[in-house]
Amino acid sequence: MVFKRQRIRSTSYLALWFGKLVYFLLRVAGKQGTSLPGWLLWRIRPSLLQELLQQLDQCVLVTGTNGKTTTTALIHAMLDNTKDPWITNRGGANLIQGVLAALLQHVSMSGRLLAKNAVLEVDEATFPHVMTRVSPTLLVVTNILRDQLDRYGEVDQALTLIRQGILLHPESQVIVNADDPLSASLGIDRELTYFYGMSVTPHHDPNRVEVRDGAFCLRCGHELQYEGFIYGQMGYYACPSCGFARPTPHFTGVHDDVKKNLQVTETMHQAESEVYSFYAPMFGIYNWYNLLSAIAVVRVLGSSPRILQDRLKNYEAPTGRMQTFPGSPQKILTLIKNPTGANSVLRAIESDAEQKSICFTINDDDADGRDVSWLWDIDLESFVTHTICQTYYCAGTRALDMALRLTYAGIRRDQVEVIDSLEKIDLVTKKAQGKVYILSTYTALYKLAAQFHEAQRSKAVQRS
Ligand SMILES: [Zn+2]
């Protein structure tokens, strides 16, 4: 049995108090969301991460290339309650400093964690650092999506790092996506592993041109054969050469667009299957995957479906993950950062039959990536053949690149409108009928979220 510490080492107190002081000062200054205290602690006392993580009774880690933030928020919404609070790192603060900053908020001056459970989103590169310091109760891999942006083998690197982390803890329960051959390879032949996957839905279309570089067998290099694609390299696959194939999921999801339900068939305990439905108001297949994986996590931890459904009602989408701002027109803000992510967002928009416009907000700061050639890899051509949009707005520092990209996809020039500053998006899109989907790169996202919140607040003040 692993000896569990109840508090930090005496030699760590000074660093902890310093971190808490910085956290307090930032709070007074109205800057709560920053990971700065965690960043400082990691530099002056790196052992604190382990000293705090080892006090946890239950630690759930969420990693993968896409969908971590939403999945973590969903798990947190289903597990957190006043009697038994769960620590989490909100809003995608998924590096070491984000994890430390989240823990710091729940530690007493005497170095004791006041909440004993945590669900933490961990970036792929950070994952091995965390795994050497804690034995997680459970870890979930959302997916390891390849896209054409991956010209430097980052996806292979991510897969290697996650695999190394998992190998360190054979005693941890692991939940992986059966439909993604890269993720599934982490769990096949491993004990204490559960798979989740979607039943092929009407959204599935084998003729779509998408990125499927991942569609090669990891064991023998042979091209995988697919009976159906879902999105990216996800689908029903098998290797004709060595027998590597999609494992049968323990949790199978089917989404009902009309009832807005995700029906889950669970065969965790082989004897009989259990079927339950969750109200799933979010749209887009990638969000149903996020919800399905989150349900798998909390079911493996032993919560009953009825309690989970109740708690899920409190779920609020994190910033820029199909975040809705009511009003006229209604705005839906979502992050795009690579072609695969953008394609899955466009697929979700396609499934919305109501009148709509799209505003692409593309910046090219360091955090967004300086190279915007990925815009050309988005499958806009098939989007415009499947969907009618009223207007395509383009904003951000690379608005003109996006406008050019749209015209090459066959969109008429009079349907494309360039907005020259982020501040004008509210005003210009006022004339749009129906909804406006705002697809934004990273650096514009938080500015826009703050701007839309502010507009809502001032409207509320005017009304009262
Ligand atoms: Zn093979």
Identify the band that residue 202 occupies on the pLDDT scale cut at 50, 70 and 90.
Answer: very low
Residue 244, phi then psi, degrees to nearest 5: -60, 130
More confident residue, 71 or 258: 71
Q: Where in the chain is the domain with CATH 3.40.1190.10?
A: 10-197+260-312
Average the pLDDT over 318-341 and give the result: 87
Residue 13 has pLDDT above 60, yes or no: yes
Residue 1 has pLDDT above 50, yes or no: no
Residue 324 has pLDDT above 80, yes or no: yes
Residue 16, phi then psi, degrees to nearest 5: -60, -45
Identify the band that residue 201 occupies on the pLDDT scale cut at 50, 70 and 90.
Answer: low
pLDDT above 90 as % of the chain? 59
pLDDT recorded at residue 339: 85
Cα(232) to centroid(ligand 1), Å: 19
Average the pLDDT over 295-299 and give the result: 96
pLDDT recorded at residue 423: 94
Widest Cα–Cα separation across the chain: 69
pLDDT recorded at residue 208: 54
Of the spans 140-154, 341-355, 404-418, which averages the highest pLDDT? 404-418
**Architecture of the domain defined by 10-197+260-312:** 3-Layer(aba) Sandwich (3.40)
pLDDT recorded at residue 327: 86
3-state secondary structure of 58: strand
The token duo for 170 is 């054979």
Task: For residue 130, give the amino acid letter.
Answer: V
Average the pLDDT over 377-382 and give the result: 91
Residue 231 has pLDDT above 90, yes or no: no
Identify the band that residue 364 occupies on the pLDDT scale cut at 50, 70 and 90.
Answer: very high
Cα(302) to centroid(ligand 1), Å: 35
Cα(238) to centroid(ligand 1), Å: 8
Residue 154 has pLDDT above 60, yes or no: yes
Query: What's the mean pLDDT when you consider all of the chain?
Result: 88
Residues with CB under 5 A from ligand 1 (ion): 217, 219-220, 222, 239, 241-242, 244
User: Parallel, antiparallel, or unpaired for β 193-198 and 251-256?
Assistant: parallel
- CA–CA distance, 420 with 412 (Å, rounded to integer): 20
pLDDT recorded at residue 214: 56
Length of the chain: 464
- Give the dihedral of Cα atoms 92, 96, 101, 106; nearest 10 deg: 100
Beta-bridge mates of residue 62: 121, 140
- CA–CA distance, 210 with 213 (Å, rounded to integer): 9
Question: What is the fold of 323-463?
Answer: Protein-Tyrosine Phosphatase; Chain A (3.90.190)
Cβ–Cβ under 8 Å, residues 79 and 119: yes
In the chain, what is the straight-line distance between the N-terminal and C-terminal CA atoms, in Å? 60
Can you spell out the DSSP letters for 304-334? -HHHHHHHHTT--PPTTSSEEE-SSSEEEEE
Identify the band that residue 212 occupies on the pLDDT scale cut at 50, 70 and 90.
Answer: low
Identify the band that residue 362 occupies on the pLDDT scale cut at 50, 70 and 90.
Answer: very high
Cα(258) to centroid(ligand 1), Å: 39
Cα(241) to centroid(ligand 1), Å: 5
pLDDT recorded at residue 211: 46
Determine the distance from the C-alpha atom of residue 156 to the mean position of all C-alpha atoms in its chain, rounded to a whole number: 19
Q: Where in the chain is the domain with CATH 3.90.190.20?
A: 323-463
- CA–CA distance, 71 with 89 (Å, rounded to integer): 12
More confident residue, 246 or 34: 246
- CA–CA distance, 446 with 284 (Å, rounded to integer): 22
Phi-psi region of 327 (alpha: psi -120 to 50; beta: other; left: phi over 0): left
Cα(52) to centroid(ligand 1), Å: 42
Average the pLDDT over 80-91 and give the result: 90
- CA–CA distance, 406 with 389 (Å, rounded to integer): 12
Average the pLDDT over 298-313 and give the result: 89
Task: For residue 100, give the amino acid letter.
Answer: L
pLDDT recorded at residue 145: 83
More confident residue, 285 or 104: 104
Of the spans 149-158, 209-218, 319-328, which averages the highest pLDDT? 319-328
Cα(188) to centroid(ligand 1), Å: 13
pLDDT above 70 as % of the chain? 94
Which has the minimum average pLDDT: 56-70, 150-164, 381-395, 399-413?
Answer: 150-164
Cα(153) to centroid(ligand 1), Å: 20
The token duo for 377 is 């890899």
Residue 215 has pLDDT above 80, yes or no: no
The token duo for 358 is 């799209």
Question: In this predicted model, what pLDDT tens digit does every residue of 439-460 receive, in sequence order?
Answer: 999 899 989 999 998 988 888 8
Cα(229) to centroid(ligand 1), Å: 18
Identify the band that residue 74 occupies on the pLDDT scale cut at 50, 70 and 90.
Answer: very high
pLDDT recorded at residue 146: 72
Determine the distance from the C-alpha atom of residue 442 to the mean position of all C-alpha atoms in its chain, rounded to a whole number: 14
Residue 359 has pLDDT above 80, yes or no: yes
Residue 204 has pLDDT above 70, yes or no: no
Which has the minimum average pLDDT: 5-9, 82-86, 252-256?
Answer: 5-9
Q: What does DSSP assign to residue 216?
A: B
Identify the band that residue 424 occupies on the pLDDT scale cut at 50, 70 and 90.
Answer: very high
Cα(177) to centroid(ligand 1), Å: 18
Half-sphere exposure of 450 (CA within 13 A, CB side): 8
For residue 396, CA distances in Å to 115, 357, 369 come to 41, 17, 13
User: Parallel, antiparallel, or unpaired for β 416-418 and 435-440?
Assistant: unpaired
- CA–CA distance, 257 with 255 (Å, rounded to integer): 6
More confident residue, 4 or 97: 97
Cα(240) to centroid(ligand 1), Å: 7
The closest alpha carbon to 72, from 342, 321, 382, 370, belongs to 321
For residue 449, CA distances in Å to 335, 369, 439, 453 come to 11, 20, 12, 6
Can you spell out the DSSP letters for 402-460? HHHHHHHTT--GGGEEE-S-GGGHHHHHTT-SSEEEEEE-HHHHHHHHHHHHHHHHHHH
